[in-house]
C-alpha cells in the first residue's frame, strides 16, 4: 500500500461547528504533515509529527488542533473556524523526518467555512 488516504473529500461547516479531518497511511512512515493550500498557491506547512510527537507548529491558530493517535493516523480537529480558513487541506507522510525522503501526499479535503 503506497498511498495516503484522507476523509472526508469535501466538508462544509459553519463557524460554530466542530469537525475533524482524518489522514491514514500504511507505509510505515514515521513523519506526517498537515498542509493548507489556497487556490493558485503552493501548500503551506501547518504541522509536523515526527515519531508520533508534534515537532513543528508553524504558528497555526489554536482553532486548528492536530492529533496523532498512532503511527498510521493523523487527525486535524477544527473548531470555530473563519471563512478565510476555507482551503484544500493536504496530509502527507515521509519515511522519516530527514530531508532525504520525499513526502507522499493524500488527495486532500476541500473545506468550506460558511
Partner 1 sequence: AQSVTQLDSHVSVSEGTPVLLRCNYSSSYSPSLFWYVQHPNKGLQLLLKYTSAATLVKGINGFEAEFKKSETSFHLTKPSAHMSDAAEYFCVVSDRIKAAGNKLTFGGGTRVLVKP
Give backbone dihedrals phi and psi of 84, rounded to 5 degrees, phi first.
Answer: -70, -5
Other C-beta atoms closer than 10 Å to the C-beta of 108 total 20
Q: Grid coordinates 513523519 are at which residue?
A: 31
How many binding residues for partner 1 (CB under 8 A)?
31
Whether 94 and 49 have beta carbons less than 8 Å apart is answered as no
Out of 21, 90, 111, 113, which residue is the one contacting partner 1 (CB under 8 A)?
90
Taking CA atoms, 44 is separated from 33, 63, 87, 110, in Å, by 10, 17, 11, 15
Report if residue 101 touches partner 1, rule: CB under 8 A: yes
Out of 13, 20, 22, 50, which residue is the one contacting partner 1 (CB under 8 A)?
50
Out of 33, 46, 66, 85, which residue is the one contacting partner 1 (CB under 8 A)?
33
Nearer to partner 1, 17 or 50 (CB): 50
Binding site for partner 1 (CB under 8 A): 4, 6, 31, 33, 40-43, 45, 48-50, 55-56, 88, 90, 92, 94, 97-108, 110
Amino acid at each position: 500500500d503506497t498511498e495516503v488516504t484522507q476523509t472526508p473529500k469535501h466538508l462544509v461547516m459553519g463557524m460554530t461547528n466542530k469537525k475533524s479531518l482524518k489522514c491514514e497511511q500504511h507505509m510505515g512512515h514515521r513523519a506526517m504533515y498537515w498542509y493548507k493550500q489556497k487556490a493558485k498557491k503552493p501548500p503551506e506547512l501547518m504541522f509536523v509529527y515526527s515519531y508520533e510527537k508534534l515537532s513543528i507548529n508553524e504558528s497555526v491558530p489554536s482553532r486548528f488542533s492536530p492529533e496523532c493517535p498512532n503511527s498510521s493516523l493523523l487527525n486535524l480537529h477544527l473548531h470555530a473556524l473563519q471563512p478565510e480558513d476555507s482551503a484544500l487541506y493536504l496530509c502527507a507522510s515521509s519515511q522519516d523526518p530527514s530531508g532525504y525522503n520525499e513526502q507522499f501526499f493524500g488527495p486532500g479535503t476541500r473545506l468550506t467555512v460558511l
